[in-house]
C-alpha cells in the first residue's frame, strides 16, 4: 500500500455506503444489544465451510462471510472482484489488492462511532493504561464479549510534539537495545549462545516483534510462544540478564535427548530447537497469498521460510553418464575440516603442499571457501558402493556431487570440530578463516558447469546479489571435548559486534570475530537485511 493510503476504497464509496457499513458494524462486529449478539452468533458462519471461527471476514460488496485462515474470503474476492472485506472480530478493513489491512479516515470514524454506541448499550467500562517507558499507547478494553481494541489517537500534547519533530526517530549506532545477557542455569551455555544468534537474526526478529505468531497449541507448552516472549524481553530495553528457565523447561519437554544438566552440543541444540519451532508454528506464515511455499519443505512457517534451503545431489553413472538427481531440504551445512580422519585433498592446482592425514593440503590457513569447495566437488563412490543405473539397467560405479539448488535466507555453516569414531574421540582445532561477506554463487547447481574434471573454476557473476550473504553471528567453543564452554559473537549494527558470554556482554572488534576459532557461522542474505 502506498504512503497515501489505499486507493481501492473509492470504488466502494458510492450510494449508501456509509449506512451499509454502519449496519455491518452494528449487526456483525460490535453487537451492542442481546438481540444483535444472538443474530451474529446464528448468521456469522463461513458460507463455504460452515465454520464460526478462522478469522471470519464479511465482504463489503455483498452478503458473504468467509474464513480468512482457510482463504475462503480470498477466493470470493478473486472470483467476484470484491476487493474489500471487514474482520468480524476486530472490525479492521482488509484490501485484497493491497494485501493488507488499510486505514481510511471516513471508515475509521464510522467504526469508532458504532463501537462507542455498542459499549454504551452494554454498559461496559473502557480501561486505558499508558505503560512507561514505552512510546506506544496501550488500550485495554473490558467488554466481556470477544476481543475489542481501539485505535491509538495522539493527545494534544503529542500532536504538538509531532509537529515540532516531524522526522522519524532512528536507532543510533550506539544503541544497545536488543543486547541482553542470559543466566547460565547449569551448563546451559550451549543454549544461551544459540538464543543470542536467533534473537539477532534480522528477519526472525522482525517476525516476532511484529506479533505474527498465532498459537495453535492446546496447552501452555508452545516453544514459539516462549520465543516470542523472549524477543520481547530482549528488546524491552532492560539491561539486567534474563533467566531463560521456562525456555530450558520447554526444550527438555520437547527434545528429551537434551534434558539434564550435562553439557550439550550447541549444533545439536540448534537443530532440535529449529525442529520444535517448525512443528509448533505451522500456522504462522510470512505470506498470506495462499501460494505453495517456495522451499524444499513446502512449509510456510517462519522457520522454513528463513532457514530451509535445498541441497541437490547428482549421481552420475560412469558407464552411460546418466544423471540421477534428488533435492533434499537442509537447515545447516556441515563441513569437514583438515585434521580430521576424513581425507581433505587439495582444491586447486599448484602451490606448496603439506600432508594432513596422508592427504596433500595447501599451505597456509584453510578458508570457509575451501571447505565449501570440498563439499561441492565430485566424489567417486567406488566399487563397494555401486548403484543400479536406470540407463544401463545394471549396477555400475558412479560419482556423486552436492550443490545448492536453493539458498536459505539464513545460511548456517557447521564446522565439524568434534570427531567421534570407534577408535577416536577428539576436538579438531584447525583454524578456518571466514569472511564478513560471502558469495555462494560458485556453489550453486546452476554453476556446476564451472567445475571441470574435479577442479574449481571461478565464475564471474557480480550482478547476482541474491546469493550474497553477510555474517551476523558466530558461535565458538573453548576447551576440550570433555570440558568446554560456548560463547558467541553477535552483530548489533552493520559494523558493531559484541561478545556474549552467558550473562556478560562486552564490546568486540571485527578482528576479534574473524580471529576466533569458529564452530557455527550464521550468514544472512544481504538484500533482505534491515539496518
pLDDT top residue among 457 and 97 = 97
Class of domain 7-123: alpha beta
Q: What is the band of 63 on the pLDDT scale with cuts at 50, 70, 90? A: confident
Enter the C-alpha cell of residue 201.
Answer: 537474526
Q: Which of 8, 47, 249, 485 is catalytic?
A: 485
The whole-angstrom separation of Cα 84 and Cα 86 is 7
pLDDT reading at 456 higher than 70:
no
**Measured in Å, how far apart are the chain's first and last C-alpha atoms?**
22
Q: What's residue 3's pLDDT?
A: 52
pLDDT reading at 355 higher than 50:
no
Please work out, in degrees rounded to the nearest 5, the angle formed at the alpha carbon of residue 213 by the alpha carbons of 211 and 214. 120
Whether 98 is a known active-site residue: answer no
Q: From the centroid of its chain, how far is CA 385?
A: 38
Q: How far is CA 260 from CA 141, 251, 359, in A?
A: 43, 10, 40
Q: What's residue 520's pLDDT?
A: 96
Q: What is the band of 140 on the pLDDT scale with cuts at 50, 70, 90? A: very low
Q: What's residue 39's pLDDT?
A: 75
Q: What's residue 149's pLDDT?
A: 44
Q: What's residue 128's pLDDT?
A: 37
Q: What is the 3-state secondary structure (H, E, C) of 37-66?
A: HHHHHHHCCCCCCCCCCCCEEEECCCCCEE
Sequence-distant (≥ 6) Cβ neighbours of residue 152 within 8 angstroms: 136, 137, 139
pLDDT tens-digit profile of 410-447?
999 999 998 877 677 788 888 999 999 999 998 888 77
pLDDT reading at 101 higher than 60:
yes
Name the DSSP letter for residue 99: T
Q: What's residue 503's pLDDT?
A: 93
Q: What's residue 148's pLDDT?
A: 42
- Mean confidence (pLDDT) of the chain: 79
* Other CB atoms within 10 Å distance of the CB of residue 200: 22
Helix (H, G, I), strand (E, B) or coil at 354: strand
Average pLDDT over residues 6-13: 86
Q: Which of 6, 46, 67, 189 is catalytic?
A: 189
Looking at 165-244, list the stretches that DSSP marks H as alpha helix, in order from N- to C-terminal side.
189-199, 202-209, 223-234
Whether 485 is a known active-site residue: answer yes
pLDDT tens-digit profile of 167-218?
655 666 667 788 999 999 988 999 999 999 999 998 888 888 877 777 777 6
Q: What's residue 474's pLDDT?
A: 97
Q: What's residue 184's pLDDT?
A: 93
The whole-angstrom separation of Cα 25 and Cα 119 is 13
Residues across the chain: 531
The whole-angstrom separation of Cα 478 and Cα 263 is 13
Match 463501537 to its residue by C-alpha cell.
Answer: 115
Listed in order, the ranges of the chain carrying CATH 3.30.40.10 are 7-123
Q: What's residue 452's pLDDT?
A: 43
Average pLDDT over residues 88-97: 89
Amino acid at each position: 500500500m502506498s504512503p497515501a493510503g489505499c486507493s481501492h476504497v473509492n470504488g466502494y464509496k458510492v450510494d449508501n455506503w456509509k449506512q451499509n457499513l454502519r449496519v455491518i458494524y452494528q449487526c456483525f462486529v460490535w453487537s451492542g444489544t442481546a438481540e444483535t449478539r444472538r443474530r451474529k452468533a446464528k448468521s456469522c458462519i463461513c458460507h463455504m465451510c460452515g465454520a464460526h471461527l478462522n478469522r471470519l471476514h464479511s465482504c463489503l460488496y455483498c452478503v458473504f462471510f468467509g474464513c480468512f485462515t482457510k482463504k475462503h474470503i480470498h477466493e470470493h474476492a478473486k472470483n467476484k472482484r470484491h476487493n474489500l472485506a471487514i474482520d468480524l472480530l476486530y472490525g479492521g478493513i482488509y484490501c485484497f489488492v493491497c494485501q493488507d489491512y488499510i486505514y481510511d479516515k471516513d471508515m475509521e470514524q464510522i467504526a469508532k462511532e458504532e463501537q462507542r454506541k455498542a459499549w454504551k448499550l452494554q454498559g461496559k467500562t473502557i480501561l486505558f493504561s499508558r505503560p512507561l517507558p514505552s512510546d506506544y499507547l496501550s488500550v485495554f478494553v473490558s467488554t466481556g464479549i470477544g476481543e475489542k481494541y481501539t485505535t491509538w489517537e495522539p493527545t494534544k500534547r503529542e500532536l504538538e510534539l509531532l509537529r515540532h519533530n516531524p522526522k522519524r526517530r532512528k536507532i543510533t549506532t550506539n544503541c544497545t537495545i536488543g543486547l541482553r545477557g542470559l543466566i547460565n542455569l547449569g551448563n546451559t551455555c550451549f543454549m544461551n549462545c544459540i538464543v543470542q544468534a536467533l534473537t539477532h537474526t534480522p528477519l526472525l526478529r522482525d517476525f516476532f516483534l511484529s506479533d505474527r505468531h498465532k498459537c495453535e497449541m492446546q496447552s501452555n507448552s508452545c516453544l514459539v510462544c516462549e520465543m516470542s516472549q523472549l524477543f520481547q524481553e530482549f528488546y524491552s530495553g532492560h539491561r539486567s540478564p534474563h533467566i531463560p528457565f521456562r525456555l530450558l523447561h520447554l526444550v527438555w519437554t520437547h527434545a528429551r535427548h537434551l534434558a539434564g544438566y550435562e553439557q550439550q552440543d550447541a549444533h545439536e541444540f540448534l537443530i532440535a530447537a529449529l525442529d520444535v519451532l517448525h512443528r509448533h508454528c505451522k500456522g504462522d506464515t510470512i505470506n498470506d497469498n495462499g501460494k505453495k511455499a517456495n522451499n524444499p519443505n513446502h512449509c510456510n512457517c517462519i522457520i522454513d521460510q528463513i532457514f530451509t534451503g535445498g541441497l541437490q545431489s547428482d549421481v552420475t553413472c560412469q558407464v552411460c553418464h546418466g544423471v540421477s538427481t534428488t533435492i533434499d531440504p537442509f537447515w545447516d551445512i556441515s563441513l569437514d575440516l583438515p585434521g580430521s580422519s576424513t581425507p581433505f585433498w587439495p582444491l586447486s592446482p599448484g602451490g606448496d603442499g603439506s600432508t594432513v592425514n596422508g592427504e596433500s593440503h595447501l599451505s597456509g590457513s584453510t578458508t570457509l571457501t575451501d571447505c565449501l569447495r570440498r563439499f561441492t566437488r565430485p566424489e567417486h563412490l567406488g566399487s563397494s558402493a555401486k548403484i543400479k543405473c536406470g540407463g544401463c539397467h545394471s549396477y555400475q560405479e558412479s560419482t556423486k556431487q552436492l550443490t545448492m539448488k536453493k539458498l536459505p535466507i539464513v545460511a548456517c555453516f557447521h564446522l565439524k570440530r568434534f570427531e567421534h569414531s570407534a577408535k577416536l574421540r577428539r576436538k579438531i582445532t584447525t583454524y578456518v578463516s571466514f569472511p564478513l561477506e560471502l558469495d555462494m554463487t560458485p556453489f550453486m547447481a546452476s554453476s556446476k558447469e564451472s567445475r571441470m574434471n574435479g577442479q574449481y573454476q571461478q565464475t564471474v557473476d557480480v550482478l547476482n546479489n541474491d546469493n550474497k550473504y553477510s555474517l551476523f553471528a558466530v558461535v565458538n567453543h573453548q576447551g576440550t571435548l570433555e570440558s568446554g564452554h560456548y560463547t558467541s559473537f553477535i552483530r548489533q549494527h552493520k559494523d558493531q559486534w559484541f561478545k556474549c558470554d552467558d550473562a556478560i556482554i562486552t564490546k568486540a572488534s571485527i578482528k576479534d570475530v574473524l580471529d576466533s576459532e569458529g564452530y557455527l557461522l550464521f550468514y544472512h542474505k544481504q538484500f533482505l537485511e534491515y539496518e
